[in-house]
């Protein structure tokens, strides 16, 4: 299949990595290969890129899309969830890298392929799996998970104010017959939200679909695990660039980056901060990089995007 996907913050994210032609890089979210293609174009002799995706469709597409780069020995495709970052790289003899980029969320082709069940706007079986080899799907969550778990994910992952009434509506309907399709679920979610609240804020099912998708794919857990590994593996002078599209992801990235760039609690009045207490990382930008007005006009999916970048401080600068 053809990936009709416009990569958001493409040039900003790759520029933020400050690519060294002979360096080792990782694209944690291959998708349509936008970031991978641009990174590979800047690599020279000895440079290499490892591109991860858990979706076989993305791997198959990029076998063709990045065929020249793969043949030239610049790019290796890795079919794995990015939470397996450290183990997958170790299996390939890689113990550190000079930079990694994450482009989070669902790729456009996954959303646009109605059969994948990510969208409330297309009739499809309830699925939402990024990795179609895994057992857990949206149908399982919606039909089998207890009321309390539904409330938890709708509230925590969807930041949905009407989580309880939506979960009750799901319970009522699934007691009569299994909920099978995206449009059926969207109508049930709508039923669980008061009419006055449905008049603003976009489609009433948007938050619930986000919550179920995050739960099915354990997106926040995978991100936290992977970022923790990336912070261990990135070399001095190397950078981690993360593009987020929703507040929960951005909050997690912001918190983890703040933890690594902040000074520990120290006794008051120290004339000089000891070298061993200096943070190992620095923020490349104090505030997130946002899409330009031109990109916002050209790509509606860019509107919620934020890019945060962190750099491991070289050992020389701490001595």
Q: Domains in the chain, start-ordered, CATH in brackets?
A: 10-103+219-318 (3.40.50.150), 112-217 (1.10.150.170)
Q: Which residue has the tokens 């597409």?
A: 61
Contacts of 53 (CB under 8 A, 6+ apart): 29, 30, 31, 59, 62, 77, 78, 79
Q: For residue 253, how many other CB atoms are within 10 A of its CB?
A: 24
Q: For residue 79, how many other CB atoms are within 10 A of its CB?
A: 17
At 316, is the secondary structure helix, strand, or coil? helix
Q: What is the mean pLDDT of the chain?
A: 90
The reported pTM is 0.88
- Tens digits of residue pLDDT in 273-299: 666 668 899 999 999 999 999 999 998
Between 4-8, 37-41, 175-179, 280-284, the lowest mean confidence (pLDDT) is in: 4-8
Per-residue pLDDT at 1: 47
Any idea what DSSP says for residue 249? H
How far is residue 31 from each of residues 7, 79, 265, 270, measured CA to CA in Å? 9, 11, 41, 49
Contact 220, 104 (CB under 8 A): no
Per-residue pLDDT at 319: 34
CA distance 227 to 243: 12
How far is residue 72 from each of residues 66, 75, 108, 238, measured CA to CA in Å? 10, 8, 28, 24
Work out the pLDDT band at 238, boundaries 50, 70, 90: very high
CA distance 21 to 270: 42
CA distance 99 to 125: 38
- Tens digits of residue pLDDT in 122-165: 889 999 998 888 999 999 999 999 999 999 999 999 999 999 99
Secondary element (H or E) of residue 25: strand 24-27
Per-residue pLDDT at 317: 39
């Amino acid at each position: 299949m053809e990936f009709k996907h416009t990569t958001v913050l493409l040039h900003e994210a790759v520029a933020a990595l400050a690519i060294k032609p002979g360096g080792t890089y990782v694209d944690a979210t291959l998708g349509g290969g936008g970031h991978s293609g641009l990174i590979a174009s800047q690599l020279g002799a000895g440079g290499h890129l490892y591109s991860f995706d858990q979706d076989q469709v993305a791997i198959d597409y990029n076998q063709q899309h990045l065929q020249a780069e793969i043949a030239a020995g610049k790019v290796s495709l890795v079919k794995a969830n990015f939470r397996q970052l450290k183990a997958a790289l170790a299996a390939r003899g890689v113990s550190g890298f000079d930079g990694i980029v994450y482009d989070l969320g669902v790729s456009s082709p996954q959303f646009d392929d109605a059969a994948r069940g990510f969208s409330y706007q297309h009739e499809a079986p309830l699925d939402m799996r990024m990795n179609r080899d895994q057992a857990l799907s949206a149908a399982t969550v919606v039909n089998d998970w207890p009321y309390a778990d539904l409330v938890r994910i709708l509230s925590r992952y969807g930041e949905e104010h009407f989580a309880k009434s939506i979960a009750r509506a799901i319970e009522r309907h699934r007691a009569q017959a299994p909920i099978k399709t995206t449009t059926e679920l969207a109508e049930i979610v709508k039923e669980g939200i008061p009419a006055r609240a449905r008049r603003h804020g976009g489609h009433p099912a948007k938050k619930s679909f986000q919550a179920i998708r995050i739960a099915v794919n354990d997106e926040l857990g995978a991100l936290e695990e992977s970022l923790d590994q990336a912070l261990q593996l990135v070399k001095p002078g190397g950078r981690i660039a993360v593009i987020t599209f929703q507040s929960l992801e951005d909050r997690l990235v912001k918190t983890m980056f703040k933890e690594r760039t902040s000074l520990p609690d120290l006794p008051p009045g120290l004339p000089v901060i000891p070298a061993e207490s200096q943070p190992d990382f620095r923020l490349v930008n104090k505030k997130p990089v946002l899409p330009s007005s031109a990109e916002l006009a050209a790509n509606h999916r860019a509107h919620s995007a934020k890019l945060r970048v962190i750099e491991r401080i070289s050992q020389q600068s701490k001595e």
